[in-house]
Structure 1
């Protein structure tokens, strides 16, 4: 490593001082509203997902991306045969068109339009269509966070030569733990059972807990919920309006980074106003209206996407004749785990 000159050390120190203002300016210039018709036009021309929100295209969000995919039933039913693929990424998938099932770590989940599934970290998964010619879905994934941390791993049954852990046998491939040959509950590389735990020093017990963390984490994620039926959404009144939690650690989902909810505003009404220290992307499921984000007004309708800048005041207004519904993805669990969660409330909803 080259030794820096004194003035270069000073430059590094000043970058830290200036960072907050530069970051604020970047958020102000980043796109907030993504038009649905533009996304639909691109979907017709591409066989790959169309990204609405991603830091690589200048979006505000840094920890997760949001994209839409339109795949033929034939393609989805022939891509993978058994395992599918897995990644060091959490994902929430909302199905908009088609009917089918997803296999996550060997368990099949039937879905239809309006349903959501969550894909826990490093779970093998694949999707198949059983009714309709197309599968249209929207996905929020924490890929950008994994990439920035240098922890991104993607393994696909079609390309075993690129598997990082190079485990053999289908049972071994279902596990999160490198080097583990059995199903969850079996042994890791080091035998952790036996002996008198209380006889160990506090530091050694802490190390023992670290050794067993991956196994316990995998057990918890396999015991967590995966599927949410759109028909079962339970809206409850809040200061921000009517909200239904979809994917959240508080409701039995083993998700450490990302969460999902659906917000609803009746015709002619407005949501509450707040700002928060977490990222948020909102997809308009139904309705039309406008949002005031800081001092800017943004008109939206069904199919549009709003990318809310971190700690920006925002409030939504329904100007249409039907309920406005928002599919909201956020990284609130991640910020809470980091100890950075902060929310400020400005005004209650008017209903």
Structure 2
């Protein structure tokens, strides 16, 4: 052999058709995609009483839609309540459909080497918002939404890119649970309507 390292790279007997698998997957994609939803109706959007709050998932990787790169949900915050508090590496865009309130954001100093470390900065910033506004949440920012209206609910649409998950950097951490969260509760539309009522 012409290469001095041939004794090394010639070792191993395992065979796998990995490139062929890519070709097969590409060829099967049109049929597979034809069975995936291009229109998602409200009845197909699952509810979740999550640690982050009351969610109706619009797009999610688990929902078998044609969307490849974005997850989105509608979040409802009862009068005078708040979301959970969490942090994730991906940036997020939130559109305020209804209501008024504010966000608390705490930036983090991040170091990514062989390991991943983050440290919250001391300053917590407050941002006021109302219906029609867009809230931008930078990467790796601890954040929480607050409904400032004691009489009316807030509705938000959140969109986040899946790219960090695909790179193995989902890094989602829940710091504080939403007040409405109850483990194991199956949420219904009637329950949501009840929670959105002014209790004062």
**TM-score, length-scaled by structure 2:** 0.69
Cα 1:251–1:218 shift into 2, 3 Å: same
Could you tell me how far apart the structure 2 residues matched to 1:322 and 1:228 are? 27
Distance in 1, matches of 2:85 and 2:69, equals 24
Residue 292 of structure 1 corresponds to: 104
Which of 172, 179, 196 is the matching residue for 1:350? 179
User: Distance in 2 between the 1:224 and 1:233 partners?
Assistant: 14
Contact 1:220 1:254 in 2 (8 A): no
Whole-angstrom distance in 2 between the partners of 1:326 and 1:244: 10
1:267-300 Cα offsets, whole Å, 9 max, x none, are 0001110000112100001111111111111111
CA distance in structure 2 between the aligned counterparts of 1:202 and 1:210, rounded to whole angstroms: 15
Counterpart mapping for 1:1-351 below 5 A = 202-203=15-16, 205-230=17-42, 233-294=45-106, 295-320=124-149, 321-331=151-161, 333-351=162-180
Per-residue CA shift, 1:215-250, capped at 9, x if unaligned? 222322221112223476543211111011111111
C-alpha displacement of 1:211: 2.0
| 1:174-218 CA-partner distances (Å, limit 9, x unpaired) | xxxxxxxxxxxxxxxxxxxxxxxxxxx834x22221222322223
Secondary structure of residue in 2 paired with 1:293: strand
User: 3-state SS of the aligned residue for 2:75?
Assistant: strand
Task: Choose between structure 1 and 2: higher helix proportion.
Answer: 1
For residues 221 and 287 of structure 1, the distance between their equivalents in structure 2, rounded to whole angstroms, comes to: 37
Distance 1:330 1:227, change over 3 A: same
Structure 1 SS opposite 2:157: strand
| Matched pairs, number | 149
Q: Contact 1:256–1:334 (CA<8 Å) still a contact in 2?
A: no
Superposition TM-score, scaled by structure 1 size: 0.40
Structure 2: runs of 5+ lacking an equivalent: 1-13, 107-123, 181-200
Aligned-residue CA RMSD (Å) = 1.8
Name structure 1 gaps, 5 residues minimum: 1-200
Higher relative contact order (CA 8 A, sep 6+): 2
